[in-house]
Structure 1
């Protein structure tokens, strides 16, 4: 998991994988005020952005998720969102809903060692496939959030000789 802010991207960009660079460059350079909620291609089906509007909820109302095939980059445009995060370890409980290939997600209720990560506008969070995360949380009262989630096929990171 990596957390950052667009204001630091110019410096931090040099240390990022080229695939992550492409995704975050897209996030920072795109005027999302012109885009309605929906899905937008960046690199075909291997990398795409989802513009999402939601109302944050309590931890008890929101299941956590873990992907197998895709990385996520959550980028907050408006509002205040907390994302619960836990590295998948051997002592995690079984999923409440098993992995579904078409959704690329297993869903969890309680997860071990969950840490809240608060995002404010301009912040991004890169989540690796092994990261269990619970997006869309509020730490106080429910609130409106507008965000973008970039989905990146893990195969784009494979090194070929």
Structure 2
């Protein structure tokens, strides 16, 4: 997991993998105010952005997810969002919904080692396939959030080596 902010991207860009660089460049250079919620291609089906408007909810109301094929980059445009995060370790319980390839996700209930990560506008969080995460959480009261999630096929990292 990597956490950053668009205000620091120019200085940190040189240290990022070329695939991450392409995705975060897209996030920092795109005018999302003019775009409607939906899916937008960046690099065909291997890298795309999903713009979404949502209301944050409590941790008890949302299952955590873990992907196997795609990396996620969550980028907050408006609002205040908390994402629960945990690295998959031996102490993680079995998923409540096993991995489904068509959704590239297994879903989890309670995660004992889950840590809340708070995002504010301009923040981004890169989640690796081994990262279990619970997006769209309210730290206190529910609120409206506008965000972008970039999905990156892990095969792109192998091609870039």
Shorter-chain TM-score category?
A: over 0.9
What is the CA–CA distance in structure 2 between the aligned matches of 1:159 and 1:42, rounded to whole Å? 16
Q: Which residue of 2 aligns with 1:27?
A: 27
The list of structure 1 runs, each at least 4 consecutive aligned residues, that deviate by more than 6 angstroms after superposition, is none
- TM-score in terms of structure 2 length: 0.98
Determine if contact 2:86/2:132 at 8 Å carries over to the other structure.
Answer: yes
Is there any run of 5+ residues in structure 2 with no aligned partner, and where? none
Determine if contact 2:40/2:50 at 8 Å carries over to the other structure.
Answer: yes
Q: Which residue of 1 aligns with 2:73?
A: 73
What is the CA–CA distance in structure 1 between the aligned matches of 2:107 and 2:49, rounded to whole Å? 21
Measured after TM superposition, the shift of residue 159 of structure 1 is 5.2
Measured after TM superposition, the shift of residue 39 of structure 1 is 0.1
Secondary structure in 2 matching 1:158: helix
Taking a change above 3 Å as real, the CA distance of residues 156 and 63 of structure 1, as seen in their structure-2 partners, is same
What is the CA–CA distance in structure 2 between the aligned matches of 1:105 and 1:10, rounded to whole Å? 32
Q: Which residue of 2 aligns with 1:59?
A: 59
Measured after TM superposition, the shift of residue 160 of structure 1 is 7.4
Secondary structure in 2 matching 1:75: strand
Determine if contact 2:81/2:118 at 8 Å carries over to the other structure.
Answer: yes
Is there any run of 5+ residues in structure 1 with no aligned partner, and where? none
Secondary structure in 2 matching 1:28: helix
What is the CA–CA distance in structure 2 between the aligned matches of 1:151 and 1:137, rounded to whole Å? 20
What is the CA–CA distance in structure 1 between the aligned matches of 2:42 and 2:159, rounded to whole Å? 21
Q: Which residue of 2 aligns with 1:131?
A: 131
What is the CA–CA distance in structure 1 between the aligned matches of 2:127 and 2:75, rounded to whole Å? 11
Determine if contact 2:80/2:119 at 8 Å carries over to the other structure.
Answer: yes
Q: Which residue of 2 aligns with 1:83?
A: 83
Equivalent pairs counted in the alignment come to 161
